[in-house]
Amino acid sequence: MYAISLGDDGAELRPLEPWHAEEFLAHLDRGREFVQQFIPFGSTTTDMASAREHLQRYADMRAADTGSLHGLWLEGKLVGGVLFLNFDAENGNCEVGCWLEPAGTGRGLVTRAMRILLDWAVEERGIHRIEWVAASGNHPSLNVARRLGMTRDGIRRESHPYRGVRHDLEVWSLLAPEWREARARGAHSDH
């Protein structure tokens, strides 16, 4: 498979596959409290069976061309990931997302990895509209959307019941021409 360098800090973007279940579970165990603040699989992937099941679901989505999961490794250790939660090449739309354990935060890993996914989606697959949806309180995630040049389309008020609280979800988007223009200007900031 692939391993794409994300810079001089030893960070790499790689596929996250079912055979990574043990490493995925160890990663979640290290950062579970942090990850599960906003990411549901942080609280539902708690053993090898659920880790395999989660990774297999995305492997099946990749095979069906409807989504995919990509890990972020820092100096050989899985610290998070980026993903296509849904991918609809026929209609030119997709939704992207991310998660990190604390050891991966503050380094621009998600932003750097997401640029690779966005380039691929726009240039190789013809995606026109990319969405980013995050809870209004998830400031690190919303900051990535801003760094990628996305525009906030709106807020779905109290639309996401999670851990006993109804969260507002912010919807951000980026259109292919906007992505190409920002890339051409070099208007990308990692942090």
**Going from the N-terminus, what domains does the chain have, and what CATH number goes with each?**
4-185 (3.40.630.30)
What tens digit of pLDDT does each residue of 76-103 get?
A: 999 999 999 999 999 999 999 999 999 9
**How many alpha carbons lie under 13 Å from residue 79 in its C-beta half-sphere?**
20
Q: Whole-model pTM?
A: 0.90
- Segment 15-43 shows an average pLDDT of 89
For 108, phi and psi rounded to 5 degrees? 75, 15
d(CA 126, CA 119): 10
Residues 6 or more apart whose CB falls under 8 angstroms from that of 113 comprise 6, 13, 70, 72, 82, 98
91 exposure class (CB count in 10 Å sphere: 0-12, 13-18, 19+): exposed
What tens digit of pLDDT does each residue of 152-163 get?
A: 999 999 988 888
Residues 6 or more apart whose CB falls under 8 angstroms from that of 94 comprise 84, 86, 87, 88, 121, 127, 129, 130, 131
Question: Mean pLDDT, the chain, as a whole number?
Answer: 92
Strand partners, 175: 129
For 65, phi and psi rounded to 5 degrees? 60, 40
Which pLDDT does position 190 carry in this prediction?
52
